[in-house]
Amino acid sequence: MTRPDATVDGLDVSAYRIPTDEPESDGTYEWDSTTIVVVEARAGGRTGLGYTYGEAATGKLIEDKLQEVVLGLDAMDVGAAWLAMGAAIRNAGRPGVGMMAVSAVDIALWDLKARLLDVPLVDLLPAARRQVPIYSSGGFCSYSMERLQEQLEGWVADGIPRVKMKVSREPERDPARLDVARKTIGEKTELFVDANGALTRKDALHWAYRFCGEWGVSWFEEPVSSADLEGLRLIRDRGPAGMDTAAGEYGYVLADFRNLLECVDCLQADVTRCGGITGLLQVGGLAAAHQLDVSGHCAPQVSAHALCAIHRLRHLEYFHDHVRIESMLFEGALLPSGGELRPDRSRPGLGLEVKTADAEPYRIR
């Protein structure tokens, strides 16, 4: 493999707001659209693609703080670019939108590097596997019983062996919703729930035992706020055997994940929030050092490549909204098979191209 002599000579940013197929809600939030910020990095006649899910202001931050840092850098030196971007957003704030901006550019640079070398992105990483197990995710609190049943039936028919639904917005409604879910998916499919931090500590502990005992729930995500470390630890340590407590999707910098190590059974990480592929590799090393598994949060087209390099990988969240958006906007989007996503090794980089004509009606910057 010859090392290309190419410097980053362009960085383009766009944002698209995609309406949901119907109004959605979880335990603490309601929404009717999702915004994706897309970055295209150019060098040596090739273009790398990256993205994050966040407000259009993320793109403005990229243009104001990161573009000048990245332009002119050696396209092969992704790690150096990551450090330079982290320094550039120091005063803007690294956690939150700052690290989401870094994530989008970092992913684009990894994709660019792979395309310059004409290899699939996964082959640039210290891959430990060739595919990523998934669980399907949706089951929004706003869904009717009929819609919930329809979605669950579709996932089971697709051979996905684990599914997740939202809970705790109106706890009194959850028993009936969970009855429908368990009846629909049968006993062999794993059932996960996500409260999105809606519960108090004692209520979360109460519901943990009900979820596990009555419906066989084996995964309780964000039973309390992810900022309530003592509360997460309480559910982890005093919850029922056979149920894992999980959090981490709102981790941005490495310290966020360090703080969760003694609070969860499985550490979540979102490649489009935690510093891109470079940041995700650091999270994976931290988790492995503390004998914790990692579960990937959303963004399936990037995660399918990046998570192959996480040695203690549990699975990836195959989230309804992101699946729709990435299939709508990107040519080459992967589809699951046998409950797994497998990177396409016949295409360089992530194997994605923006469907410009399809995306244009949703463009907001």
CATH fold of 123-354 reads TIM Barrel (3.20.20)
Domain ranges across the chain: 10-119+356-362, 123-354
- pLDDT, mean of residues 135-161: 98
Buried b (16+ CB within 10 A) or exposed e, 173-211: ebeebbebbbebbeeebbbbbbbbbbbebeebbebbeeb
Chain centroid offset of residue 251 CA: 11
> Per residue in 240-259, pLDDT tens?
999 999 999 999 999 999 99
Output 20 or 5, whichever has higher pLDDT: 20
Assess whether the region 10-119+356-362 and the region 123-354 belong to the same CATH fold: no
CATH code for 10-119+356-362? 3.30.390.10
pLDDT at 47 over 90: yes
Q: Across-strand partners of 39?
A: 13, 50
Distance, CA of 286 to CA of 303 (rounded, Å): 18
> Per residue in 303-359, pLDDT tens?
999 999 999 999 999 999 999 999 999 999 999 999 999 999 999 999 999 999 999
Distance, CA of 63 to CA of 50 (rounded, Å): 14
Mean pLDDT score of the chain: 97
Give the number of other CB atoms < 10 A from CB of residue 6. Answer: 17
